[in-house]
Amino acid sequence: MTLLPCSLALLLPLLSLLLRLLVVSLQWRTSSPAIIMSLKNHHSTHHSRSPTLRANQTTCPIFSGAWVRDDSLPLYQYTCPFIDPEYNCQMYGRPDSGYLKYRWKPLNCQLPRFNGVEFLERMRGKSVMFVGDSLGKNQWESLVCLIYADAPQTSAQMDRGDPLSTLKFLDYGVTISFYKARYLVDIDVVQGRRVLQLDDISGNSNAWREVDVLSFNTGHWWSHTGSLQEWDVMESGGTYYQDMDRGVAMERALRTWAKWIDANVDRTRTSLFFLAISPTHYNPAEWSAGATAITTTKNCYGETVPMSGTAYPGEYLEQMRVIDEVLKDMHNPPYLLDITMLSALRKDGHPSIYSGELSQQQRAHPDRYADCSHWCLPGLPDTWNQLFYTALFY
């Protein structure tokens, strides 16, 4: 046996230890993201919450996914006292209920389940306001029903008005409001004519100056004509217009809104959202291969299941391009609640003829009167609010 010098014999164990530490270090560098993710997942599981990061910071695209069956839904019933007749499909005779049993599942993560008590606790003493058209109202009524179902014993006070309606959860000091402003900008009456002020939002903005969480939407009313439009003339840059390209008008109004938001909303105290365009389903050719105007009634009547897959074959909405362009140019843009694609897959979710706004005679003619624009409650807007809840708190 060869004998090593004493100093070398003492060094060998130390060299061996250093080599082992180097190997461990290299393994840690290689696997540390997975280890960190495992720790995050363990932390998330411990608290029964996922995803673990705020929705606008995580790499998980929560608006990309598919609809999956979930028999634990809906989270509240059509007897919720805050649902308007126009959205209350079960109350007004819709015979199927399968459309209530679908949950949105993002491709790479799980959404936290909506918790109304947690919402009230986190928002204690604060205010939430939805500003826009009837799709914003659709979402507002969904949210208050979701909360009320989880906290039925709390005192609530509803004050319905025009343009402002507010539900107060008195035990928590939380107010959740809807403010009707279909074009966001002001409409003034000048010499008996209703003037859509594309450059002015000073009147409407007074309603939301001190609100803690703001969610805006606009879109559908920009395409209305005749008796459905709320204005007689438009004004922009000191010039009056009988009409103009509606996409141009919408963009001018949105830039007025964006300029006001950038100048007046303190983002350190106010959370800001914008609801993307909610799609309609009046043309079955968009989702049914071979459907034609001759063989298919042009509405959503009789649709009972969502589309499968993760993409909608219809065309990209021009109004979304306008919204994207305006938000991109803002200094402090809102969080875009990008519900367009996931909602497009839900051709089954509209009131159709089961709206309390329709007479029996109108219901007999779905080709003329079916509502394929708004959404049943309970229904799709509950998912919008689950995504809103995720973005707000996680």
Contact status, residue 180 vs residue 162, Cβ threshold 8 Å: yes
Tokens at 205, concatenated = 């903005």
Contact status, residue 296 vs residue 224, Cβ threshold 8 Å: no
Alpha helices (runs of H) in 98-133, residue ranges in sequence order:
116-122
Burial label, 131 (beta-carbon count in 10 A; 0-12, 13-18, 19+): buried
* 378: preceding bond cis by omega (within 30 degrees): yes
* Catalytic center residues: 134, 371, 374
Q: Give Cα separations from 375 to 55, 89, 232 (angstroms).
A: 25, 9, 29
Nearest alpha-carbon partner for 149 in 50, 78, 69, 90? 78
CA pair distance 252, 186, nearest whole angstrom = 13
Query: What are the DSSP E strand ranges found in 266-366?
Result: 271-275, 335-337
Buried b (16+ CB within 10 A) or exposed e, 91-102: bbebeeeebbeb
CA pair distance 186, 177, nearest whole angstrom = 19
CA pair distance 14, 65, nearest whole angstrom = 54
Burial label, 382 (beta-carbon count in 10 A; 0-12, 13-18, 19+): buried
Q: Report which residue type is found at 240.
A: Y
Say if strands 239-241 and 233-236 run parallel, antiparallel, or are unpaired. antiparallel
Q: Which residue has the tokens 């959205």?
A: 87
